[in-house]
Structure 1
Amino acid sequence: DPTRFAPIVDKLRDHDPYMVCADFDDYVATEERAAMLYQDPRAWSRMALHNIAGAARFSSDATIRQYAAEIWNLAPVPVDVDVLAEITGADAP
């Protein structure tokens, strides 16, 4: 049924307060570029390796630490891993 999702589509087209569709055209264009790039294995591999190498700079621990300090204004709480292991029954590292 082609009209099954019409109310949702209409709502997103007419009133999108959370901007769900704000960058949809850019998303589609990027997907098309990625599909074209995938046809060239050498170029695709090169970009994939650059992406992987760039990801090494990302650390979820560092990001959470930064959020805690800069956004939530929280200080780290020291944890004694031996005490934690004793409490939880887990092996200490």
Structure 2
Amino acid sequence: MLFNVGSYVIYRSIAGFPARYWWPLFGAGLALGAVNALLFVRAIVVVPLSVAYPAFSAASFALIAVIATAVFGEKLLPLNIVGLVVVIVGIALAAYAP
């Protein structure tokens, strides 16, 4: 999950730069995404996909929102936080329901 979040943070940080400057960072983001995919495939061998994917999605969603606020100064309003909590709770309920 951290590799996924790292790739999106890189993509956000290079947005607006001329291509000659961001190609190396873009490649690093792609590499992080590839490592993420490899680790996720290995994880779903031992964790059911119906649990792994929702948990991965919720954790990525929450961490990206926090990093975007802390690093890029994006606003996270109380309503956004409520929405984030609702999504995470919904995913948890769907993933862990008997």
Same fold (TM over 0.5): no
Larger Cα-atom Rg: 1
Higher relative contact order (CA 8 A, sep 6+): 2
Superposition TM-score, scaled by structure 1 size: 0.31
